[in-house]
Amino acid sequence: KKPAEHPKYSEMIAAAISSLKDRNGSSRQAIEKYIKANYKVGESVGVHLKMALKRAVAGGSILQTKGVGASGSFKLAK
Protein backbone atom coordinates (compact mmCIF):
# COMPACT_ATOMS: atom_id res chain seq x y z
CA LYS A 1 0.00 0.00 0.00
CA LYS A 2 1.47 3.34 -1.02
CA PRO A 3 1.51 6.25 1.46
CA ALA A 4 -1.26 8.84 1.25
CA GLU A 5 -0.72 11.96 -0.83
CA HIS A 6 -2.12 14.15 1.94
CA PRO A 7 -1.34 14.89 5.60
CA LYS A 8 -3.14 13.13 8.45
CA TYR A 9 -6.84 13.93 8.75
CA SER A 10 -6.25 15.47 12.20
CA GLU A 11 -3.81 17.95 10.62
CA MET A 12 -6.14 18.72 7.71
CA ILE A 13 -9.08 19.29 10.10
CA ALA A 14 -7.00 21.65 12.27
CA ALA A 15 -5.89 23.59 9.18
CA ALA A 16 -9.47 23.80 7.91
CA ILE A 17 -10.89 25.06 11.22
CA SER A 18 -8.13 27.63 11.71
CA SER A 19 -8.40 29.00 8.16
CA LEU A 20 -12.23 29.07 8.09
CA LYS A 21 -12.17 31.31 11.22
CA ASP A 22 -15.85 30.76 12.00
CA ARG A 23 -16.80 32.34 15.33
CA ASN A 24 -19.14 29.55 16.39
CA GLY A 25 -16.95 26.76 15.03
CA SER A 26 -16.81 25.21 11.57
CA SER A 27 -19.39 22.70 10.34
CA ARG A 28 -18.44 19.23 9.15
CA GLN A 29 -19.66 20.15 5.66
CA ALA A 30 -17.45 23.26 5.57
CA ILE A 31 -14.44 21.28 6.82
CA GLU A 32 -15.06 18.58 4.18
CA LYS A 33 -15.39 21.20 1.42
CA TYR A 34 -12.11 22.85 2.49
CA ILE A 35 -10.27 19.50 2.58
CA LYS A 36 -11.57 18.50 -0.88
CA ALA A 37 -10.52 21.87 -2.31
CA ASN A 38 -7.02 21.99 -0.79
CA TYR A 39 -5.81 18.37 -0.59
CA LYS A 40 -5.63 15.32 -2.85
CA VAL A 41 -8.12 13.06 -1.09
CA GLY A 42 -10.08 10.09 -2.40
CA GLU A 43 -13.82 9.56 -2.65
CA SER A 44 -14.12 8.16 0.89
CA VAL A 45 -13.18 11.49 2.50
CA GLY A 46 -16.56 11.70 4.30
CA VAL A 47 -16.10 8.45 6.20
CA HIS A 48 -12.51 9.23 7.18
CA LEU A 49 -13.45 12.77 8.20
CA LYS A 50 -16.29 11.50 10.40
CA MET A 51 -14.02 9.04 12.21
CA ALA A 52 -11.23 11.62 12.58
CA LEU A 53 -13.65 14.20 14.03
CA LYS A 54 -15.02 11.72 16.58
CA ARG A 55 -11.47 10.70 17.53
CA ALA A 56 -10.32 14.32 17.89
CA VAL A 57 -13.32 15.26 20.07
CA ALA A 58 -12.72 12.21 22.29
CA GLY A 59 -9.01 13.07 22.51
CA GLY A 60 -9.76 16.69 23.37
CA SER A 61 -7.86 18.31 20.50
CA ILE A 62 -11.05 19.86 19.11
CA LEU A 63 -14.29 20.93 20.80
CA GLN A 64 -17.77 20.27 19.48
CA THR A 65 -19.81 23.46 19.81
CA LYS A 66 -23.06 22.17 18.26
CA GLY A 67 -24.56 18.83 17.27
CA VAL A 68 -23.95 15.21 18.22
CA GLY A 69 -21.45 12.66 16.90
CA ALA A 70 -19.66 13.85 13.77
CA SER A 71 -22.32 16.42 12.83
CA GLY A 72 -22.52 20.00 14.06
CA SER A 73 -19.77 22.55 14.52
CA PHE A 74 -16.21 22.19 15.76
CA LYS A 75 -13.56 24.50 17.22
CA LEU A 76 -9.90 23.95 18.01
CA ALA A 77 -9.24 23.40 21.71
CA LYS A 78 -7.07 26.10 23.24
Q: What is residue 8's predicted lDDT score, i.e. its pLDDT?
A: 93
Q: What is residue 3's predicted lDDT score, i.e. its pLDDT?
A: 87
Burial profile 37-73: b = 16 or more Cβ within 10 angstroms, e = fewer = eebebeeebeebbbebbeebbeeeebebeeeeebeeb
pTM score above 0.85:
yes
CATH architecture, range 9-76: Orthogonal Bundle (1.10)
Reported as a single tens digit per residue, the pLDDT across 31-59 is 999 999 999 998 889 999 999 999 999 99
